[in-house]
Chains A and B, each alone.
Chain A
Amino acid sequence: MKGIKRLIFLSLLVSIGLGLSIIESMMPLPFIAPGAKLGLSNMVILITLVVFDIKDALTVGILKSLIFTLITGSVTSLFYSLSGSILSCLLMYLIYKKFSSIFSLIGVSIFGAMAHNFAQVLVASIMMNNFRIFSYIPILQLTGLFTGYFVGLTSKFVIKSLKKSIDKIFYSND
């Protein structure tokens, strides 16, 4: 019973991430830097990481990237989103586990945004064979700072109430 509940929760998180990604792709931030995004779906990965575990967070992140590619139909963007979500997930896990006394969820989320930006620019420069793209990094990191801050803030509120209901669902006697 617990396994099924867990499965349903994780698939719900994946679909929430997909919905957020679609909404996000409809409203880019063209005034700051091309390619800058809100990173709303990073929220889902962060929430999974905290409420569940690193394995589930990686699963959610990879599934979200794969299914989002099926929706948009652009295969090249799969590599960007996949590399970004895997690296940010690993770094967020590291920071959350080892340095949670120093950084709150906001710091964890900012680290995730940084890793996401870095991985995407790295993959883009490898695929295009042009390392000039790294000149985008400062402005991307600045926008990532703001979006990461708000993603962390939102996740904090979500996790607070989600943990309560998850305890109720998973540890009730059924």
Chain B
Amino acid sequence: MTKGDKILIVIIVIISIVSLIFVNISVFSYQEKFISVQVNGKEIKKIIFDSSLIGETVPIETEYGYNLIEIGDEKVRVIEADCPDQLDVKQGYISNVGEVIVCLPNRLVIEIKGMDEVEIDRISR
């Protein structure tokens, strides 16, 4: 362990923590938020949080795989997936704008976005 190593570690810790704080600050600058479900880069579903939707589950079935997401009170999680590692299930709830659940094998991204875009439709069953 040389002096250069120690300096490198300190610099990386500082940069990571600063950028973590930066990411968290940009997260809190939104008021309304919604869930954006993207498969292979294309947004296939937008879901606005609503008290009537708490506890609802939404199956997402694409050519890449199957995931089941559950909507909670201003939060969302994946409860079932057919991918081998199940990392998206293990991640649990996300609730802040900018947070994402990614399921690489199924090319699925579930993102919470701030309401700055128009043309949002509600979930229909």
Residues of A within 8 A of B (CB): 25, 28, 30, 34-35, 72, 74, 76-77, 80, 99, 102-104, 106-107, 110-111, 114, 124, 127-130, 132-133, 135-139, 141-142, 145, 149
Closest to A35 in B: B87
> Roughly how many angstroms separate A141 CA and B9 CA in the complex, as a whole number?
11
- Kindly list the 8 A-B residue pairs having the minimum CB-CB distance in the complex, ordered from nearest: A129-B41, A102-B4, A107-B5, A30-B90, A138-B16, A138-B19, A138-B20, A34-B87
Contact B85 A135 (CB under 8 A): no
Closest to B111 in A: A132
Residues of B within 8 A of A (CB): 1-2, 4-5, 8-9, 12-13, 15-17, 19-20, 23, 38, 40-42, 84-85, 87-88, 90-91, 98, 100-102, 104-105, 107, 109, 111
Across-interface contacts of A139 in B (CB, < 8 A): 16, 20
Across-interface contacts of B91 in A (CB, < 8 A): 30, 34
Number of inter-chain CB pairs below 8 Å: 99
Across-interface contacts of A132 in B (CB, < 8 A): 98, 100, 109, 111
> Roughly how many angstroms separate A110 CA and B111 CA in the complex, as a whole number?
30
Contact A138 B1 (CB under 8 A): no
Indicate whether A107 sits within 8 Å of B4 (C-beta atoms), given known contacts A72-B84, A138-B23.
yes
Contact B107 A76 (CB under 8 A): yes
> Roughly how many angstroms separate A138 CA and B18 CA in the complex, as a whole number?
9
Contact A103 B85 (CB under 8 A): no
Contact B88 A34 (CB under 8 A): yes
Contact B41 A128 (CB under 8 A): yes
Across-interface contacts of B41 in A (CB, < 8 A): 127-130
Across-interface contacts of A104 in B (CB, < 8 A): 1-2, 4-5
* 27 A–B contacts, CB within 8 A, in A order: A25-B85, A28-B87, A28-B90, A30-B91, A34-B88, A34-B91, A77-B105, A104-B1, A107-B8, A110-B8, A110-B9, A127-B107, A128-B38, A128-B41, A128-B107, A129-B40, A129-B42, A130-B111, A133-B100, A135-B23, A136-B100, A137-B19, A138-B15, A138-B19, A139-B20, A142-B17, A145-B13
